[in-house]
Structure 1
Amino acid sequence: MHTHAHIALDNDYVLYLSLAMIAATFIIRFAVIGMAGRFNMSERFKKTLRFVPVTVLPAIIAVEILGKGSNFAFNLENPKLLAAIVCTMISLRFGLIWVVIGGLISLILFQTYLDPMMHFFHHLMC
């Protein structure tokens, strides 16, 4: 029996929700920027803050690609991992738009055809 409430996502709801998220993001960022001039930060602290996005983003991406707990899948049967490898290879030669396009295409292909390919190769090996 499902007990989850379902919300109808009509255009007005999405519009108001988007506007609320924009306002909340603006207020939070404006508050931080407004406070920035009120206290002195050491150069070491400023340099350390520059590493926050560089460390947080890969952590978020790694959990999404590899999963967590019993869903952890660091193997070549994980279509997200294979698509990430394709994205990495594309990024070594091409720009961001090609990484995004290549990642989407490879993820769709791996999610669609990886399982049948694995069964085919397993059948060949046995």
Structure 2
Amino acid sequence: MGALQVTSRQEKLAALKEVACKLPKANLLLLKHLLSLLQNISKYVATSRMTARNLAICVGPNLLSPPEEHTLSLDTLAQVTQKVTQLVEFLIEHHRELFEEEVAGLAGASGEEVPAQWVEAETAEDAKLFTRKQEAETNP
């Protein structure tokens, strides 16, 4: 959140890169994919009306919420939520700069479509897992 107080875009990016490097690898990978997906959704704002800001309003509080959220006053919570929204909006708009070339290929970031056989393989695997789960529930 301290990165928001920096005025320069480059300084914000540097501060956020520093924070991102401290994340566990799995969390960082998930963040990269999520931001790439949200940025791609925001490309279709004419159809979806989901700007980076609107997406940040929806997703931000789920990504970053204070641990003592239930004890905060409404005014304080509103201020925190506003800052979270600003931060997530910045992350969505600048994720490519933040992660540089690392985002290529994430959520279609490269502009290429996912090959159909990947989708089918993933769907087939999901179907197998779902079927096994159903069988296990019906035949204990």
TM-score with structure 2 length normalisation? 0.28
The structure with the largest helix share of the pair is: 2
TM-score with structure 1 length normalisation? 0.30
Larger Rg computed on CA atoms: 1
